[in-house]
Amino acid sequence: MDLLLILTYSALCIAIFKIFKIPLNKWTVPTAILGGIALISTLLLLMNYNHPYTKFAREYFVTIPITPAVKGLVTEVNVKANMPVKKGDVLFKIDPVPYEAVVQQKLAALKEAEQQVPQLQAAYETAHANYKQAEANVIRTESAYKRYQKGHRDGGQNSPFTELELDNRRQLYFASVAQLDAAKAEELRNRLAYESNIDGVNTKVAGLQAELAKAQYDLDQTIVRAPTDGVVTQLALREGVMAVPLPLRPALTFIPDEERFVAGAFWQNSLLRLKEGDEAEVIVDAIPGVVFKGKVAKILPAMAEGEIQFSGNLQSSNKLFQRGRVLVLIDVEDHELLAQLPAGVAGQAAIYTEHFSHVAIMRKVLLRMQGWLNYLFGEGH
């Protein structure tokens, strides 16, 4: 950009000297040189500070690593590389046989548990009936024991009940009390088994329902679908590959359809002038001569050069030597034209602030001249 300004001034001076036939002497040449130095220096200072420019601009995009939730052999690859897909479209399939077997196993166990619930109810009712029977037996044996005891006591030597008969009745009574305790414990055990519920569902049944839901979820995950509208590029997945749920080894790279932003790296001395909403222009190396108009969407609040994360290592002073630049997001207006280009194209950008707005015209002219040079040169010249 600076070189363009110098070359433009040089061409203008040559034209003036030729057209007006100004002689080249010790007065005219130094005057043109010194005037050019003063004029160009002033313009550069005003432009670079008030209307910053960067040759480091790039369109950034987000990718989604597609990692399967379950492990298995890939049986089908349904997506085609670089072809648009819709949300929910099948990307690839994993062999479902092991997961179908688990679902059937859990389903059988659930059916068995559901059939056991009426059995638990019947067992509880039986235990309750046995308890009532044992309770009635206690009352009967106790009454007989007390009658024998009273008759033996009141009759004395003439008692119709012998000591042996009284002892038998006593033992029958004690045995019925023990049977009552056992029946009560059995009733309690069956009642707890029958009434053990979670939200009205038997606990064993509820546990197996949860296991079945987990098994069904794993089975559903054998079909991997697109998380949103987008495209898969650089497709290397093939049938027979073992897909594993490891975040560091995704099976596909998915590019979602999202609004594109261009990021430019500007010198830090422009921060006092930059603000959100400022007018901006971007030129892209891929389309020479085309200028994308836009607005400053966001000035990122942090710079990676000053980042510190927790670790067991001391920070080196070498980081202090890295000055870094401010990242500015630019929202371009012509999204349709930009969307026709490959995501991640590079270019250059300029921002026009409200200060010294008349100097912005020169910055716009120089930016367009830089764009025209893209016809001849690439890679940021």
Per the structure, the count of domains in the chain is 3
Task: For residue 70, give the CATH number of its domain.
Answer: 2.40.50.100
Average pLDDT, the chain: 86
Instruction: Give 133 or 155, the one with higher predicted confidence.
Output: 133
Q: What share of the chain is helix, strand, coil (3-state, %, to 5)?
A: 50, 20, 30
370 domain residue, yes or no: yes
Residues 227 and 242 in one domain: yes
Percent of the chain topping pLDDT 70: 95
Contact status, residue 109 vs residue 215, Cβ threshold 8 Å: no
DSSP per-residue letters across 74-105: EEEE---TT-EE-TT-EEEEE--HHHHHHHHH
Whether 218 has a pLDDT exceeding 90, the answer reads: yes
Residues 57 and 133 in one domain: no
Residues 242 and 154 in one domain: no
Q: Select the highest-mean-pLDDT range: 96-110, 128-142, 360-374.
A: 96-110
Distance CA 276, CA 274 (A): 7
Q: Average pLDDT for residues 223-231, to the nearest whole number?
A: 95
Span 287-334, pLDDT tens digits = 998 999 999 999 999 988 888 888 888 888 888 888 889 999 999 988
Span 159-168, pLDDT tens digits = 676 677 778 8
What's residue 85's pLDDT?
95
Residues 72 and 207 in one domain: no
Distances (CA, A) of 359 to 47, 149, 370: 7, 125, 17
* Residue whose tokens read 């994993």: 94
What's residue 251's pLDDT?
92
Residues 115 and 211 in one domain: yes
pTM: 0.69
Residues 335 and 303 in one domain: yes
How confident is residue 340, by pLDDT bands cut at 50, 70 and 90? confident
Percent of the chain topping pLDDT 90: 37
Burial of 24-54, coded b for 16+ CB within 10 Å and e otherwise, reads: eeeeeeeebeeebeeeeeebeebbbbbbbbb
Joined tokens for residue 86: 């819709």
Whether 277 has a pLDDT exceeding 80, the answer reads: yes
Q: Average pLDDT for residues 29-48, to the nearest whole number?
A: 80
Task: For residue 369, give the CATH number of its domain.
Answer: 2.40.30.170
What's residue 87's pLDDT?
95
Contact status, residue 237 vs residue 65, Cβ threshold 8 Å: no
Residues 82 and 230 in one domain: yes
Residues 110 and 78 in one domain: no
Geometric angle at alpha carbon 65, from 59 and 71, rounded to 5°: 170
381 domain residue, yes or no: no
What's residue 158's pLDDT?
64
Q: What is the DSSP letter of 276?
A: T
What's residue 380's pLDDT?
53
Contact status, residue 261 vs residue 297, Cβ threshold 8 Å: yes
Whether 152 has a pLDDT exceeding 90, the answer reads: no
How confident is residue 284, by pLDDT bands cut at 50, 70 and 90? very high
Residues 39 and 114 in one domain: no
Which of 27-31, 42-46, 190-194 has the least mean pLDDT? 190-194
Instruction: Give 98 or 48, the one with higher predicted confidence.
Output: 98
What's residue 300's pLDDT?
92
Contacts of 19 (CB under 8 A, 6+ apart): none
380 domain residue, yes or no: no
Contacts of 235 (CB under 8 A, 6+ apart): 77, 79, 80, 81, 252
Residues 174 and 249 in one domain: no
Residues 290 and 245 in one domain: no
Taking phi over 0 as left and psi of -120 to 50 as alpha, with beta for the rest, 356 belongs to: left
* Domain extent for 35: 2-61+258-307+317-375
What's residue 381's pLDDT?
53
Residues 247 and 351 in one domain: no
What's residue 156's pLDDT?
66
Distances (CA, A) of 147 to 67, 152, 215, 361: 83, 8, 66, 123
Distance CA 200, CA 202 (A): 7
Q: Average pLDDT for residues 52-74, to the nearest whole number?
A: 92
Q: Average pLDDT for residues 265-289, to the nearest whole number?
A: 91
Whether 231 has a pLDDT exceeding 90, the answer reads: yes
